[in-house]
Amino acid sequence: MRSHRLAPVRFAVPLVLVLVLVSACSGGGSGQRSSTTLGFVPSASAWVYAFTPPTITRYSADATDGHLIPEGHVPSFFYVFVRDIAVARDGEVVYAIDATLNRIDVARVDARTGAIGKDGSHPVPSGGLELALDARERFLFVRTSSEIHTLAIDATTDALSDVGSVATSSSRELILEPGGRFLYQLHPFLPEVLAFGIAPSGTLTQLDADPLVAGVQNFAVDANTSMLRASHDGMTLAGASASDASVYALEASGALTRRGGISSGEASLPNDVLWSADGSSLYVLHANGVLATYAFDADTGVVGRVDADAGSAGLQNTTLDSGARRMQLGPSGARLIVTFIPSVTQHIETFALDPATGLPGLPQRFPALRTGTPNRLVVAQRDTAALRAPRFLYVAGFDGVDGRIETFEIEPSTGDLTFRDTQAMPLNPQTLITDRAHRFLYGVAQDVAGFDVDADTGLLTSMGLVHTRGPDHGVLRATVNPTGWATYAAVIPGGAGTDYAFHAYNAGLTPTLEPLGNWNASLLGVPDPSLGYTVCDTAVDPLGQTAYYTNVTSVRVYPISTANVVQPRLDASPAAGQQDFETGVFTFRANVGPLGRHAFTLSPYDAGSAGPDFVASFDIEDSGAITLAERFALVSEPEDIALHPNGRFVYVGLRNGTLQSFDVDPDTGDLTTIETVARPARASDSQYLAMDPSGRFLYMSTSTGIERWTIDPATGALSDQTTAATPAVRGPVLVTGRFE
């Protein structure tokens, strides 16, 4: 039997990150929202929604290489307790049935930004268990324990209206024929299927398998059949039991006619059943982690098992990791996506499907955002026409009179910059940050200057200035949760004797002063209001599950709840008292890799101690805890760090004008030097870095202007250096925008 029980493999997965680039750490120094922003990977061809009660999470999927990139979870303000979801409009509308409030909540997704906002609710009968959306997206069906309720979907607004209900003797899963003509349910006790015709109005009428017999008769299926699935062409229905698979033709009348069947060679109930895109292969995922692959001949009706290991005696199935739960085809139907319950650690795997045999290849493994039992997996092909949008570079600093942000548009093919606008602001920002949809930009330097970003022009409109913590504290460094729902900040003291701290703020989702003011009013937990030491930087992992704060020689790690509330920090050691995760050297900058597997810190030389400057790489465990993988000596004091979206390349700007680059081992986190690029040394030259979202260009803000370098996608080497712009200010740089 071919086994896929492999040790966890860590893959370098492309992820578009917003990299915020700022100066070194200074040694001295509420209401319910209607929308939020999931982390957004705009180049992906599909969205994958995974429903693990009560949490809805989303991934971006790439049709070419099968990578799944976690984007975040739909915040809990959309619902109290969701029992099921349905996804429509190329992934841009999500319906969630709330079993506590007895309603369906409608959420709308912006195709360009990935932002998701609540778009209304509709009451439904109590006891709702399941949602089923017909392929033509005309009707939404709600299953309870005793009836099926039909809702019509407005083709323009996606609003719901009641059609009616029909009683049913089954509480089993709803199976929709893709043509939208019929709906099927297994009988809860008998080897029978209840069949319903769907009228153009959405009204359901139960079909009679034998009109000559009194009463409505159901359609017979093989004994012990526990799951049904319709093929994508609507011509065939597959049934599966613990030991068999069978295939039924779907007649024009909705009747079922058995065409063939075969033993699976297993004795474990099926968790899921799935057809290939062309209907030639059938997959049955058993509760014991075994995946049986069948070949189906539509002309003859013959069903045959496909041998997963021709080198072993007898017909072999494919063994996956334990806890395999749900399956779905990936974009273009070329890959299989499988979710796993957390028997060891919850995760998702994708498998390339052999076009000749239909067999799955070796898995690629990706983390799940939240633990639990996955109940639904939906793959929504995206409308790529909506992805075309420009991207921009912002540089901030002090021009001698005022703080200022200058806006440049990036030419996609060359990376060249064109000046567009300049905006004054009453502070000299230490940090530039943006929400993950790039709708708002913030300059941070004890106070916060907020700007609304025009998605087409990149131009900024001031939203005003707020004081982050009043006269006693101010934000020094900040980062945004990938969901866009919270901001985590390192806070500096405002007077002698006050301690450093950090806070989580519920801030920055709408272009008004009131929510921006929530930097003051709506703290999402104050886990360490008085740290007693210097907080230099803050970072959050791409999954939005862990926050990291650097201090003099250590990192503090804080889990983040589904409500984005910072939890008590992790203890690095069983020794008495809470222990931090030691870095061993002064640490002033932190960043987390694209897949949340590795973290990186910068440590400048401390004149009071012996030793060189470092870039350190840390392995991140499932809990968020970190373990030092490698500390690599730099040739001079570092200023800033940038990570390539493929997760492989790390770039460090040094204060002597040098740029060092490293290749990251995806399994161990170890660093290997790519090159050291020496540039003319300048006494005031600080290397602030920004990565273009495509990964093709690296930008550096220097005393002579913004330099642009071209990145070799295979090696990470830099070439074709040019001065792309000469802004009036020099300081933190930030690249935003989307690309195809």
CA 96, CA 87: separation in Å to the nearest integer?
9
Count of CB atoms situated within 10 Å of the CB of 739: 18
Q: Which of 77-81, 445-449, 706-710 has the lowest mean pLDDT?
A: 77-81
Q: Flag whether pLDDT at 707 surpasses 70.
A: yes
Sheet holding 589-592, edge to edge: 589-592, 598-603, 613-620, 626-634
pLDDT at 411: 85
pLDDT, tens only, 156-195: 888 899 999 999 888 788 999 888 889 999 998 899 999 9
pLDDT at 650: 93
Count of CB atoms situated within 10 Å of the CB of 530: 10
Q: Flag whether pLDDT at 2 surpasses 70.
A: no
Q: Flag whether pLDDT at 516 surpasses 70.
A: no
Between 127 and 657, the more confident residue is: 127
pLDDT at 202: 92
Q: What is the DSSP string of 402-429?
A: SEEEEEEEEPTTT--EEEEEEEEESS--
pLDDT at 488: 62
Between 624 and 578, the more confident residue is: 624
Q: Flag whether pLDDT at 137 surpasses 80.
A: yes
> How, if at all, do strands 318-319 and 2-3 pair?
parallel
Q: Which of 391-400, 497-506, 553-562 has the lowest mean pLDDT?
A: 497-506
Structure-derived torsion over alpha carbons of residues 620, 625, 627, 633, reported in degrees to the nearest 10: 80
pLDDT at 636: 82
pLDDT at 668: 83
pLDDT at 466: 64
pLDDT at 192: 93
| 601-608 long-range contacts, CB within 8 A, separation 24+ | 601/550, 601/555, 602/638, 602/640, 602/641, 602/652, 603/631, 603/638, 604/24, 604/637, 604/638, 605/637
Q: Flag whether pLDDT at 15 surpasses 50.
A: no
pLDDT at 41: 47
pLDDT at 1: 40
Q: Flag whether pLDDT at 215 surpasses 80.
A: yes
Between 610 and 516, the more confident residue is: 610
Residue count of the chain, please give it. 740
pLDDT at 446: 67
pLDDT at 497: 38
Query: Mean per-residue pLDDT for 676-688?
Result: 65
| 23-27 long-range contacts, CB within 8 A, separation 24+ | 23/430, 23/639, 23/686, 23/688, 23/731, 23/732, 24/588, 24/589, 24/604, 24/639, 25/476, 25/477, 25/534, 25/536, 25/537, 25/550, 25/588, 25/589, 26/430, 26/476, 26/492, 27/534
| Sequence-ordered list of residues with C-beta below 8 angstroms from that of 252, at least 6 positions apart, any chain | none
pLDDT at 567: 74
CA 59, CA 542: separation in Å to the nearest integer?
11
Q: Which of 243-247, 252-256, 396-400 has the lowest mean pLDDT?
A: 396-400
SS3 label, residue 24: coil
Q: In the predicted model, what is the mean pLDDT of the chain? A: 75
pLDDT, tens only, 593-639: 766 677 888 877 554 444 568 888 888 887 888 888 888 888 888 88
Q: Model confidence at 198, in pLDDT bands (50, 70, 90)?
A: very high
Q: What percent of the chain has pLDDT over 70?
A: 73
Tokens 């930097």 correspond to 519
Between 437 and 22, the more confident residue is: 437
Query: Mean per-residue pLDDT for 495-518?
Result: 38
CA dist 527 to 58, 77, 504, 577, 735, Å? 28, 23, 9, 16, 31
Q: Which of 126-135, 243-252, 465-474, 689-698 has the lowest mean pLDDT?
A: 465-474
Q: Flag whether pLDDT at 387 surpasses 60.
A: no
pLDDT at 452: 82
pLDDT at 490: 58
Query: Mean per-residue pLDDT for 474-495?
Result: 59
Q: Which of 469-473, 582-586, 648-652, 728-732 has the lowest mean pLDDT?
A: 469-473
pLDDT at 583: 76
Q: Model confidence at 373, in pLDDT bands (50, 70, 90)?
A: low
Query: Mean per-residue pLDDT for 264-283?
Result: 88
53 closest CA partner among 366, 376, 324, 348? 376
Q: Which of 34-38, 149-153, 230-234, 499-503 has the lowest mean pLDDT?
A: 34-38
pLDDT at 11: 26
